[in-house]
Amino acid sequence: MLKALLRIDKVKAMQGNALLRQGSAILISILLAKTALSKEGIGWYEQLLYVGYVLTSFWVTGLMQALLSRFSKIEPVKRAVFLTNVAVVFGSIGAVLMLGFWWGRHWFVPLLTGQADLPFLLPFLLFLWLNLATFLLENFYLLWDRPGELLIFGALTYSAQLIAVVLPVWLGQGLETAVWALAGIGGLRFIWLLARLGRVGQRGWHAQGIRMWLTSGWPLVLYAGVGTLSLSFDPWLVNYHFAGDPDMFAVFRYGARELPLAMALAAAFGTAMLPGVSANLERALPEMRQKSLRLYHLLFPLTLALLLSSRYWFTWVFSEAFEDSIAVFNVFLLVLISRMLFPRTVLIGLDANRAVFYFSLVELGLNVVLGFLLVVPLGLLGIAWATVIAYTVDKLVLCAWLYYRFGIAPGAYTPVGWWAGYTLLLLLSYGWTL
């Protein structure tokens, strides 16, 4: 079994790690809902996760994508130094952001959450900084071509994270102990990173490589920043429209989950394909088409099943307190339609990062406008529908641009017929549930 694990390919390893990450998050949500922790307490935990997403997602995603797409350009003899430098730069950026947020918390917390203060913010910011080691290790293992070790790392650390959050609450020690335990898990991941770099890293400074990485990365950081704004806009609008009510925030967050694990699998697929697209486009496009079809046959039927049955299982999995989340969940399941299109991976592999960023502004603007227009008549459902529409328009526009600018038709990397058929079936099924 161990030999089979060590022979697993990069795509499956990234997807497996993503499943472990999101699976642990889902289990934490389910188990917290089964504890004595109030819905308000769960709302505070979700607020912390929301703040963490805003603080880390945009620059972590952008710089990691740039690392994967540019790594093949680094001379092999300098790669050990380069990755060590990446870890130093990465940690420094994180430290500045966390310290800056703590210093300005009296302005930033009300802006994001609608509340004057956020409980247990200090240990959570410490966790965010230490946990940057996770993102580095996940991508380093991919570049080191050690997919089996990536899965071992994910299995151990995400299991530990699940225990760290849930066990203190189950034992009646409250949310504060859970957040400090999270910081402890982040510290263990940080030590793991230092130990791994101590073995395969190398001291020195590769200025040219870091400059190339950051130059390639800043448009992706901007693009990811727009994506972060788009995703974080929904929770912000909930806080704004409902005056920071933690109960309403919890209802929205428990519903706004898309298909469990779909986002993780789609993101991991796009990430794992990036080095190949950058190195050999002609060979990578048919591979993307073939492997994405496997995702279709897994995720679309699963989404259909969840959509048609959510009213029967949702409150059983979570609790009766989250019955209002079902309608929001059903709408967010439709985000899968856009997740299963991968033009952005191809564009990033072609280093067309600025175009990706500019088109992301369209998505953000559309999401904001539709969100404000639809939240008044439809409430939480209006926010959900604005997101689904904006995401779908963004992916279709990227497909059109990729064809116009580079002559790469959607059919070169997408099984279009299957996508269209599954999309129609999903929309009809949603209509059936109304």
pLDDT in tens, 301-314: 999 999 999 888 88
Q: Which residue range is the domain that position 280 belongs to?
A: 2-433
- Give CA–CA dist 159/309, Å, rounded: 29
Query: What was the pLDDT predicted at 96?
Result: 95
Query: What was the pLDDT predicted at 97?
Result: 93
Q: Select the more confidently predicted residue: 258 or 161.
A: 161
Residues 6 or more apart whose Cβ sits within 8 Å of residue 146: none
The closest of 239, 249, 220 to 325, measured between CA atoms, is 249
pTM beyond 0.85, yes or no: no
For the ranges 69-78, 85-94, 183-192, 336-345, the lowest mean pLDDT is seen at: 69-78
DSSP 84-136: HHHHHHHHHHHHHHHHHHHHTHHHHHHHHHSSS--TTHHHHHHHHHHTHHHHH
The pair of three-digit structure tokens given for residue 277, joined into one six-digit string: 């697209």
Q: What is the pLDDT of residues 99-155, one digit of tens each?
A: 999 999 999 888 877 777 888 999 999 999 999 988 889 888 888 888 888 888 989
Q: What is the pLDDT of residues 239-255, one digit of tens each?
A: 777 766 777 777 787 77
Query: What was the pLDDT predicted at 2?
Result: 45
For the ranges 78-92, 206-220, 246-260, 273-287, the lowest mean pLDDT is seen at: 246-260
The pair of three-digit structure tokens given for residue 24, joined into one six-digit string: 């642990």
**What's the total number of domains in the chain?**
1
- Give CA–CA dist 284/345, Å, rounded: 11
Query: What was the pLDDT predicted at 243?
Result: 67
Q: What is the pLDDT of residues 261-271, one digit of tens each?
A: 677 778 778 87
Task: Give percent above pLDDT 90 in the chain.
Answer: 34
Query: What was the pLDDT predicted at 259?
Result: 63
Query: What was the pLDDT predicted at 250?
Result: 76
For the ranges 126-130, 258-262, 281-285, the lowest mean pLDDT is seen at: 258-262
Per the prediction, the chain carries an average pLDDT of 86
Cα 208 to Cα 70, 201, 222, 270, 290, distances in angstroms:
12, 18, 22, 27, 37
- Give CA–CA dist 240/53, Å, rounded: 18
Q: What is the pLDDT of residues 352-394, one digit of tens each?
A: 877 877 888 888 899 999 999 998 888 888 989 999 999 999 9
Query: What was the pLDDT predicted at 393?
Result: 93
Query: What was the pLDDT predicted at 65?
Result: 83
